[in-house]
Structure 1
Amino acid sequence: MTTQQVDVLLIGGGVMSATLGTLLNKLDPSMKLTMVERLDHVAHESTDGWNNAGTGHAGYCELNYTPEDANGNVTIERALKINANFELSLQLWSTLVENGELPEPTQFINTTPHISFVWGEKNVAFLRQRAEKLSAHHLFADMEFSDDPEVLKQWMPLVMEGRDPSEPVAGTRVAYGSDVDFGSLTRNLVNRLTSQDALDLRLNTEVVDFERNRSDKRWTVSLRDRNSGKTSTIDAGFVFIGAGGGSLPLLQASGIEEAEGYGGFPVSGQWLVCKDEKIVSQHHAKVYGKAAIGAPPMSVPHLDTRIINGQPALLFGPYAGFTTKFLKKGSKLDLIKSVSTDNLFPMMSVGMHNMDLTKYLISEVMQSHDDRVSTLRGYFPDCKSSDWTLAHAGQRVQVIKKDAKGKGKLEFGTELVAAEDGSLAALLGASPGASVAAFAMIEVLEKCFSERMNSEWKEGLKALIPSYGESLIDNAELLNQVRERTLTTLKLK
């Protein structure tokens, strides 16, 4: 059996691996990169346009990023961080567009106002406080607030038509929000790398096993061709596991000490989809509301304009569900196989202390089409059931990890787990996911390529992402400079 030797092995053909491969290639074009993907083309699982919300998650409209504390005060720190991190992605994409390495921006990103919408006096008061705090910060200075039904009708006519005029309502809007087709973006990134012979792409290939050589910090990774059944091996200096829901089992298979105690809680999603051009043309926004009690953050309801593979549609959801699969095209045994002696207690602890979430998921699974449409009417009062069909979204595996007391806690963000010697890293979790791909992959570089990041790569990365190494949260002048450039280059103004 022949063994291919590479500098970097990227496991998973999604936006994370594509972004990391792009950064490494730009920083050191001599690097030999290989990407393995278990399906027959890239960006077909979580990154596919139909398997995620497509929102350029910037904290503009997602109310779960600005929770209230015990005293009823809205906290904005997480929204500030997410917004600043998304700006890194916008800068990277802008550089690639300017260099001709990404296509016309409208092929993967389009201006779609980000709107938060609530009804009821208590929720209106919450949104007003949120808007006041956020708009006082330079990152959110362009946020508009209104509780005038006539103004809101201009922002989102479908949402306001047929609504009770006596009901208190309010909304906020950031006009340059975006809809991102992460599938198209990823395919373009991978195509650029393969067309320049910078990346060896192996499709229909799955990872079978890992063997670690501690003496030279390299990995021997066994692979299997899913069509022929033939096996092969790759000798890699660095391994990145960016396989979405499939990352946890692969991380466990690597055997690194840092993986101990991690588990996963799989959550599936569904959308109501409308493709009627007359209806779709009347709505141009992403309208986010408040999540139901007990719902995970990925289940915040929203009525979205989407452009996927160039085709417009209207989506509402997501409706959560439960499955034991870790991937949409995975196995029902995924959850069972992920349980081990080191994560059993944390997983049981999470199950016992998250009964609201369990009840919520059961109620979601039991819903009928009419039940789902009834929820939709909170955001589109005059909708007709027959105009909407159900589509299945992607799988998400929320992170379970040990807390300080050794018990389990459920995390709803992304988490990077890396070997101490920097030879392997895996990205777990989902939200806000693809939107912060640049930030997440810079974290991989800083943890696993620290020597080069502290020397020759620093200036190279700053050329790709001008604000790298500086704080957009603290530096208003820098933020205004980079945002002016990205909004212009990506045609988001």
Structure 2
Amino acid sequence: MEEAVDVVLVGGGVMSATLATLLNELEPTARIELVERLDSIAGESSFAWNNAGTGHAGLCELNYTPANADGSLDIGKAVHINTLFEESKQLWSSLVAHGNLGDPADFLSPVPHLSFVRGEKNVRFLRARHEAMSNHHCFESMEYSQDPATIAGWAPLLMAGREPGEPVAATQVEDGTDVNFGALTNRLLTRLTEQGSDRVGIRTGQTIRDLERNADGTWSLKIETSDGGRRIVRSRFVFLGAGGASLRLLQKSGIPEAKGYGGFPVSGQWLRCDKPEVVARHHAKVYSNAAVGAPPMSVPHLDTRNVDGKPSLLFGPFAGFTTKFLKNGSIFDLVKTVRTSNLSPMLSVARSNFSLMKYLLDQVRLSHAQRVEELRAFYPDARAEDWQLEVAGQRVQIIKKTPRHGGVLQFGTEIVTAKDGSLAALLGASPGASTATSIMLDLIARCFPERFASAPWQARLAQLVPVRAETLRKDPARLREVRRETHRILKLVAPGESLESAPRTARVAEPECC
């Protein structure tokens, strides 16, 4: 017997939770089922300790502002990501304002975002970056300093014990955020079940073994439960949002659009500190330059994390290599995705990225002492015994077939959809979670074009995300207005405020004793 639903969402992370939320708001009568392989939701990339929790807004990530051939800086990507994150904040604030997303402090914290560099060349770059970005209304509150005392005021650990006279510079944006995407995912999905609708089902401990398209355009998904049971679900629409597992399921779907895609897995590790007297001296997310030959996701940063009400510090990530596509995956994941259609692109990427492979293998061999030594470039007084190793989530970067190069390794996220819009898959990684709202709105527009353009859906979307990114990029007044309102509702630092004047205490209190 087949069970029939309108929508199946594969994967219990923030992407599926966001899409479920939007579709439920736009089509309350739709029957939606979320299927998660693990026994609980948000157990992979959305889990708090599997990612850095940076609300990516282009404020501190230096790789978002590359240099042009003439030496000028291109801030286009930073502006784009900044306004996409504003769309996410609008959705969250609209749900909070209606009283059904709980206290935003459970998943969102105000944390300044800093960029920090050393050396004359890097100081010149950061100065030019600040000049270019602060002239755009998205980043008009960005501060810049080369003064060690000022930087020490922003982030004391950066300057304590540093050799005097070393050229340093930093930028700071007060209204950055730290996001617990695991808590957000749980809150979004709990909200759907709390509304009492029997049209939304969340099934954990269930694995999609196969899927095939039926003659009427629907999809049948063969599901195995953790106790060995089997079931079949027929759905009019399927979203594959299962992180690294999405690629193999996309391939099993057999849609032509899946051909040529491959995956390149990259693992990660963090140094984590929970010692109160250390944690209390740092309240920021501080990003710096990536090492030569390092992939973009390995940009080093020293971050404040607020998880379940307890502050900690993370430093990293330290990259590694494994053939798993999920943290709880199999070492055969990579091999199982090799097809005749993607073998050539994968080999092409392997040949052209030898230095990257060497970098990953070198990272795997690092000792604890060597990792702490890298930390000391940020925090000179760091003590090895204060930090422990934390294994991060698994990321699968996209390998894409191209006519010119055979294949390219692509960082970021990409949506792959069937021609008829009945199936969509999300591939790739950061900054996906921060821009989940924008990505899912784009997916809905592509898969449900007529209904997306309809007056009822547009009216509801205007309530959920009143001002879209394109308008925010062009209209300074609208951006300032949106930020004031979302930051008020989400209890964040509003433009022109300091952390001390924010609606709630954001800084970590000094410990009573050390």
The TM-score range, normalised by the shorter chain, is over 0.9
Paired residues of 1:461 and 1:468 also in contact (CA < 8 A): no
**TM-score between the two structures when normalised by the length of structure 1:** 0.98
Query: Counterpart of 1:488 in structure 2: which amino acid?
Result: R
Mapped partners of 2:349, 2:170: distance in 1: 35
Query: Counterpart of 2:223 in structure 1: which amino acid?
Result: L
**Map of 1:156 onto structure 2:** 155
**Map of 2:232 onto structure 1:** 233
Mapped partners of 2:125, 2:355: distance in 1: 23
Distance 1:333 1:237, change over 3 A: same
* Cα distance, 1:470 vs structure 2: 4.6
**Map of 2:467 onto structure 1:** 467
How many residue pairs get aligned? The number is 490
**Map of 2:261 onto structure 1:** 262
Q: Deviations over 1:154-212 (max 9, x none)?
A: 00001111111111100001001000000000001111112223421111000011110
Mapped partners of 2:442, 2:162: distance in 1: 46
Paired residues of 2:86 and 2:469 also in contact (CA < 8 A): no
**Map of 2:287 onto structure 1:** 288
**Map of 1:438 onto structure 2:** 437
**Map of 2:216 onto structure 1:** 216
Q: Deviations over 1:42-75 (max 9, x none)?
A: 0000000000110000000011111112333221
3-state DSSP class of the match of 1:284?
Answer: coil
Mapped partners of 2:365, 2:176: distance in 1: 34
3-state DSSP class of the match of 1:397?
Answer: strand
Aligned positions of 1:420-459 closer than 5 A: 420-455=419-454, 456-459=456-459
Mapped partners of 2:292, 2:358: distance in 1: 10
Q: Deviations over 1:352-399 (max 9, x none)?
A: 111221111011001000000000001100010000000100000000
Mapped partners of 1:258, 1:17: distance in 2: 21
* Cα distance, 1:328 vs structure 2: 0.1
Sequence identity (%): 55
**Map of 1:368 onto structure 2:** 367
**Map of 2:476 onto structure 1:** 476
Q: Deviations over 1:394-448 (max 9, x none)?
A: 0000000011326000110100000000000000000112000000000110000
3-state DSSP class of the match of 1:472?
Answer: helix
Mapped partners of 1:468, 1:79: distance in 2: 16
**Map of 1:207 onto structure 2:** 208
* Cα distance, 1:217 vs structure 2: 2.0
Query: Counterpart of 1:285 in structure 2: which amino acid?
Result: A
* Cα distance, 1:349 vs structure 2: 0.3
3-state DSSP class of the match of 1:269?
Answer: strand
Q: Deviations over 1:30-50 (max 9, x none)?
A: 110000000000000000000
Mapped partners of 2:475, 2:459: distance in 1: 20
Matched, 1:36 2:38: no
Mapped partners of 2:348, 2:390: distance in 1: 33
Aligned positions of 1:95-244 closer than 5 A: 95-195=94-194, 196-197=196-197, 198-213=199-214, 215-226=215-226, 228-244=227-243
Mapped partners of 1:251, 1:477: distance in 2: 42
Mapped partners of 2:210, 2:439: distance in 1: 25
Q: Deviations over 1:124-162 (max 9, x none)?
A: 000011111111110111111111111101000011111
Mapped partners of 2:69, 2:295: distance in 1: 19
Query: Counterpart of 1:368 in structure 2: which amino acid?
Result: S
* Cα distance, 1:469 vs structure 2: 7.4
Paired residues of 2:141 and 2:173 also in contact (CA < 8 A): yes
Mapped partners of 1:177, 1:469: distance in 2: 18
Query: Counterpart of 1:257 in structure 2: which amino acid?
Result: P
Query: Counterpart of 1:252 in structure 2: which amino acid?
Result: Q
**Map of 1:402 onto structure 2:** 401
3-state DSSP class of the match of 1:153?
Answer: helix
Mapped partners of 1:71, 1:205: distance in 2: 54
3-state DSSP class of the match of 1:229?
Answer: coil
**TM-score between the two structures when normalised by the length of structure 2:** 0.94
Query: Counterpart of 1:427 in structure 2: which amino acid?
Result: L
CA RMSD, Structure 1 to Structure 2 (Å): 1.0
Query: Counterpart of 1:211 in structure 2: which amino acid?
Result: E
* Cα distance, 1:458 vs structure 2: 1.0
Structure 1's unaligned 5+ residue stretches are: none
**Map of 1:383 onto structure 2:** 382
* Cα distance, 1:465 vs structure 2: 0.3
Query: Counterpart of 1:330 in structure 2: which amino acid?
Result: G
Which has the larger displacement, 467-476 or 85-94? Answer: 467-476
Query: Counterpart of 1:405 in structure 2: which amino acid?
Result: R
Q: Deviations over 1:317-346 (max 9, x none)?
A: 000000000000000000011111000000
**Map of 2:22 onto structure 1:** 23
Distance 1:364 1:111, change over 3 A: same
Distance 1:406 1:6, change over 3 A: farther
Query: Counterpart of 1:210 in structure 2: which amino acid?
Result: L
**Map of 2:337 onto structure 1:** 338
Distance 1:395 1:465, change over 3 A: same
**Map of 1:486 onto structure 2:** 486
Query: Counterpart of 2:482 in structure 1: which amino acid?
Result: V
Aligned positions of 1:83-98 closer than 5 A: 83-98=82-97
Query: Counterpart of 1:287 in structure 2: which amino acid?
Result: V
Mapped partners of 2:452, 2:237: distance in 1: 15
Query: Counterpart of 1:446 in structure 2: which amino acid?
Result: A
**Map of 2:303 onto structure 1:** 304
Query: Counterpart of 1:465 in structure 2: which amino acid?
Result: V
Mapped partners of 1:71, 1:161: distance in 2: 37
Mapped partners of 1:315, 1:262: distance in 2: 33
Mapped partners of 1:293, 1:472: distance in 2: 34
3-state DSSP class of the match of 2:341?
Answer: coil
Mapped partners of 1:104, 1:454: distance in 2: 33
Distance 1:23 1:131, change over 3 A: same
